[in-house]
Protein backbone atom coordinates (compact mmCIF):
# COMPACT_ATOMS: atom_id res chain seq x y z
CA UNK A 1 0.00 0.00 0.00
CA UNK A 2 1.31 3.44 -0.89
CA UNK A 3 1.49 6.22 1.62
CA UNK A 4 0.36 9.69 0.62
CA UNK A 5 0.97 12.81 2.68
CA UNK A 6 -2.38 14.47 3.36
CA UNK A 7 -0.78 17.94 3.46
CA UNK A 8 1.48 18.19 0.43
CA UNK A 9 0.03 15.18 -1.42
CA UNK A 10 3.42 13.60 -1.87
CA UNK A 11 3.76 9.90 -2.21
CA UNK A 12 6.39 7.76 -0.55
CA UNK A 13 8.31 5.80 -3.11
CA UNK A 14 11.34 3.80 -2.13
CA UNK A 15 11.96 6.02 0.88
CA UNK A 16 11.58 9.25 -1.12
CA UNK A 17 8.67 11.65 -1.05
CA UNK A 18 7.66 12.68 -4.54
CA UNK A 19 4.60 14.57 -5.83
CA UNK A 20 1.75 12.28 -6.74
CA UNK A 21 1.30 11.92 -10.45
CA UNK A 22 -2.17 12.06 -11.82
CA UNK A 23 -3.73 8.66 -12.11
CA UNK A 24 -1.15 7.29 -9.73
CA UNK A 25 -3.66 6.66 -6.97
CA UNK A 26 -4.37 3.02 -6.46
CA UNK A 27 -4.21 1.67 -3.00
CA UNK A 28 -2.96 4.29 -0.60
CA UNK A 29 -3.31 5.46 2.93
CA UNK A 30 -3.00 8.99 4.20
CA UNK A 31 -0.21 10.01 6.47
CA UNK A 32 2.38 12.73 6.87
CA UNK A 33 5.74 13.03 5.21
CA UNK A 34 8.53 13.84 7.70
CA UNK A 35 8.48 17.55 6.82
CA UNK A 36 4.72 17.97 7.15
CA UNK A 37 4.78 15.89 10.30
CA UNK A 38 7.14 18.42 11.89
CA UNK A 39 5.08 21.34 10.58
CA UNK A 40 1.87 19.82 11.88
CA UNK A 41 3.42 19.23 15.28
CA UNK A 42 4.51 22.87 15.43
CA UNK A 43 1.01 24.02 14.43
CA UNK A 44 -0.59 21.86 17.09
CA UNK A 45 1.75 23.34 19.69
CA UNK A 46 0.80 26.88 18.63
CA UNK A 47 -2.91 26.03 18.56
CA UNK A 48 -2.68 24.46 22.00
CA UNK A 49 -0.92 27.53 23.36
CA UNK A 50 -3.65 29.79 21.99
CA UNK A 51 -6.34 27.64 23.50
CA UNK A 52 -4.67 27.76 26.90
CA UNK A 53 -4.38 31.52 26.66
CA UNK A 54 -8.07 31.84 25.80
CA UNK A 55 -9.04 29.60 28.68
CA UNK A 56 -6.89 31.68 31.02
CA UNK A 57 -8.55 34.90 29.79
CA UNK A 58 -12.00 33.45 30.37
CA UNK A 59 -11.13 32.62 33.93
CA UNK A 60 -10.11 36.20 34.74
ZN1 LIG B 1 3.91 16.35 3.22
pLDDT at 37: 96
pLDDT at 39: 96
Predicted TM-score (pTM) of this structure: 0.67
Ligand 1 centroid distance, CA of 60 (Å): 40
Ligand 1 centroid distance, CA of 43 (Å): 14
Q: Which residues pair with 28 in a beta bridge?
A: 2
Ligand 1 centroid distance, CA of 8 (Å): 4
28-31 and 2-5 strand pairing: parallel
pLDDT at 55: 77
Q: What is residue 26's DSSP assignment?
A: S
pLDDT tens digits along 12-55: 888 899 988 766 666 778 899 999 999 999 999 999 988 887 77
Amino acid sequence: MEKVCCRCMKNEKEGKWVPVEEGDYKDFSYGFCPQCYQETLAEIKIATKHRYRKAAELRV
